[in-house]
Structure 1
Amino acid sequence: MQPIIKVEKASDRPRRRRPVHGARIGIIVLDTGFQRLPGDVANALTWRFPVQYHVVTGVRPQDVIEGAPEKILPAFYDAIDRLTELGVDGIATSCGFLAMVHPQLRAYSGLPIASSSLMQIPLVLQTLPADKTVGVIVSDRKAITDNHFINVGAPVGLPLGELAFDGPIRANMRNNASQVSYAAQERDALETVERMLAETPSIGALVSECANLPPYSQAIERTLGVPVYDVVSLVEWLHAGLMPRGFHPETC
């Protein structure tokens, strides 16, 4: 006779205190002033589900990209604590360069944490034909290191495409432009990817490091014909596991 295995039901588990309900994902946002268009990680209209934001006041993009990790970690630990106390079930961040501190954030967080869109690289690579590779769109080529990839389990040496320093995307971010042109930034993103594909024809898919690029992912795929993965696809993947779709026999 087979032993009876008791399966824990959700109703049997201790309930967490939740001051806020309905937002399963918390997103840690850097302290910026530039306009975030729909599709950007920090525009609430981007999401097909509710999210809970927390701004790490005083931590700017340059502090993450160019600064020392030990200086920014306390602010992120505090953000994790605050989002956890609010009742979210998973946490994401809003800058791909936070891959540099992913091991520390993962060790600290008691919840699943998606720190960087670069986390998708190993999975995307496995979807491609053997003669294809992943190209990575970055906002600052000089600042990205092998450790950014190693820390999230991604291989090093992948082809990189850098947004132009004086192009509208980086200039608007750097200058905290309160109003930006979607068309100009779309051209900037497309030109970056066109250069990448010309330099490395073996690129079979793209991963955007920069969390401000998702507004242009659809245009890139439609114009240049390569799959594009970004912080939005990462957060949607995380949410899909935390809140799986329901399928019932009567609807099939």
Structure 2
Amino acid sequence: MTATELPRLGILMLDTRFPRIPGDVGNPATWDFPVRYRVVERATPEAIVRADPEPFVEAFIEAGRALVSQGCTGIATTCGFLALVRPRLSAALGVPVAASALEQGPQIAAALPPGQRIGVLTISKESLTPAHLNTAGLGEDTPVEGMEGTSFARTILGNETELEVRDARREMVIAARRLISAHADIGSVILECT
């Protein structure tokens, strides 16, 4: 099989301007295999996280169909809040869809020792609802900590063009420590956001 024959991962992207650093799903250098991207116009971080993804579902389906028609055999997204619409994306696209890191929760939870559970670090605790957790296979009682008030959240949700990576790392560590301090039984933390 040649590189052009390899199955491709299609990535549905929010309409963003913030930097996609290495390790981010939206950065091609993150992957060591072929990927294809499709931006869903006007589906900004603010619109998906703080508002409602519902008005964009058809646009995500259309973009996903375009990726599948280009040979993509699996689809991912660049926003964990799209966990809410993953079942509809999967049904419409006919290929595996991984919409959110939250969807890894059940498998990670199964690997934890008795007495430990998962915690979630999210861009917006206020916006991450029980419906997001339930759709991803996590319980409503899953401990969640948000990044509200941080420069990272302002950059991502404000769709700004510059990200201070060192500051973002520090802010995430502080938030993760808050989460673990409040819930000593956390054995693993899932990062919902880029």
Give the TM interval when normalised to the shorter protein. over 0.9
2:47 corresponds to which residue?
A: 63
1:199 to 170, 175, 182: 182
Deviation at residue 21 of structure 1 after TM alignment: 4.6
* Offset, 1:154: 2.1
Offset from partner CA, 1:92-132 (integer Å, 9 cap, x none): 01111111112211221111111111111111110001110
Letter of the structure 2 residue corresponding to residue 27 of structure 1: I
Query: Equivalents in 2 of 1:174, 1:151: separation in Å?
Result: 22
Q: Secondary structure at the match of 2:154?
A: helix
AA aligned to 2:64 is: I
Partner in structure 1 of residue 156 of structure 2: 173
Task: State the alpha-carbon separation in 2 of the partners of residues 110 and 126 from structure 1.
Answer: 27
TM-score normalised to structure 2 length: 0.93
Aligned residue number for residue 121 of structure 2: 137
Q: Which residue of 2 aligns with 1:186?
A: 169
Q: Distance in 1 between matches of 2:32 and 2:171?
A: 27
The correspondence of residues 1-252 of structure 1 with structure 2, limited to 5 A, is 21-22=5-6, 24-163=8-147, 165-210=148-193, 212=194
Greater gyration radius: 1
Structure 2 segments unaligned to the other structure (5+ residues)? none
Give the Cα–Cα distance (whole angstroms) in 2 for the partners of residues 153 and 174 of structure 1.
25
Secondary structure of 2:67 counterpart: helix
CA contact (8 A) 1:23 1:52 kept: no
Q: Residue 67 of structure 1: CA displacement?
A: 2.8
- Give the counterpart letter for 2:47 in structure 1: D
After superposing the two structures, state which structure 1 stretch, 97-106 or 80-89, moved more: 97-106
Q: 1:174 to 1:65 in 2, by over 3 A?
A: closer
Segment drifting more, 76-85 vs 97-106: 97-106
Q: Which amino acid aligns with 1:205?
A: S
Structure 1 position 68, deviation (Å): 3.2
Does structure 1 conserve the Cα–Cα contact (< 8 Å) formed by 2:144 and 2:179? yes
Q: Give me the whole-angstrom Cα distance separating, in 2, the residues matched to 1:57 and 1:173.
A: 16
Q: What SS does structure 1 have at the residue aligned with 2:11?
A: strand
Q: Percent identity?
A: 34
Alpha-carbon deviations, 1:13-48, whole Å to 9, x = none?
xxxxxxx75452101010011111111111111112
| CA distance in structure 2 between the partners assigned to 1:167 and 1:50 by the alignment | 34
RMSD of aligned Cα (Å): 1.4
The question of whether the paired residues in 1 share the 8 Å contact of 2:44 and 2:159 is answered with no
